[in-house]
Structure 1
Amino acid sequence: MPSELVDLLFDKQYPPAQAWREYLELTQSECAEKLGMSQPAYLKLEASEKPTKATRTKLATALGINEEQLDC
């Protein structure tokens, strides 16, 4: 795991989806567009503390990562 990502997860205590998005230098709007939803709707998905499997799948798709990478 890249040190920049670790810093976002543990030092800044970002939720995994937000940490990955920022590490990948994507905006919420870019991720929302990939999923065909509004930015506020994407923000709710990203902020989920215990996302469902469906939510995790959506987040991973938007970020271009595997679902397992959200297990931080």
Structure 2
Amino acid sequence: MIEPTKIQPIYQGGVPAFVVIPFADFAREHPKEAAAIKPLHPRIPEGDAVPHEVVSMHIDRDITYLRAWREYLGLTQAEVAERAGITQAALSQMESEEAKLRKATREKLAQAMGLNPEQIT
């Protein structure tokens, strides 16, 4: 049951038309519908943790963690390359190979995507 103090009514013409409730309450009452609602910005965990979605892309689609992270974050190769100060062609090559990235390159790419360098290894 949702606590009445957490409900925010929205009125149209002086009559209640909608209510806004905390998402946690909505998710508890409607788990399937809540699961279908995606966050506006992907979650980047602290430390060296990697979200399940990124791991799934890496395994299911057989792509590098670098590419999986970029796609998870909704970034283009051109955006990441520009932020990292490398060419798009160089990034494309890095994404298509499982070769270990040099430490300096990994750090540049991680910073360009707002990640910890260990998250893209």
The alignment's TM-score, normalised by the length of structure 1, stands at 0.80
Q: Percent identity?
A: 46
Tell me how far apart the structure 1 counterparts of residues 60 and 72 of structure 2 sit (CA, whole Å).
14
**What is the CA deviation profile of residues 27-71 of structure 1, one whole-angstrom value per residue up to 9, with x for unaligned ones?**
000001112332112222333421111221122122210011113
Task: Determine the C-alpha separation between the residues in 2 that align with 1:32 and 1:60.
Answer: 11
Report runs of 4+ in structure 1 exceeding 4 Å deviation. none
Correspondence for 1:68: 118
Query: Unpaired segments of 5 or more residues in structure 1?
Result: none
Structure 1 partner of 2:57: 8
Separation in 1 of the partners of 2:86 and 2:101? 17
Equivalence for 1:33: 82
- How many residues are treated as equivalent by the alignment? 71
**Higher share in helix:** 1
Q: Is it true that 1:58 corresponds to 2:108 in the alignment?
A: yes
RMSD value over aligned CA atoms?
1.6
Mapped to 2, the partners of 1:38 and 1:17 lie a distance apart of 15
Q: Distance in 2 between matches of 1:62 and 1:28?
A: 11
The one-letter amino acid paired with 1:62 is A
Q: Distance in 1 between matches of 2:101 and 2:88?
A: 17
Is 1:45–1:55's contact at 8 Å kept on the other side of the alignment?
no
After TM superposition, the structure 1 stretch with the greater mean CA deviation from structure 2, 3-12 or 15-24, is: 3-12
The separation in 2 between residues aligned to 1:44 and 1:58, in whole angstroms, is 16
The answer to which structure has the higher strand fraction is: 2
Tell me which structure has the larger Cα radius of gyration: 2
Residue 18 of structure 1: aligned partner: 67
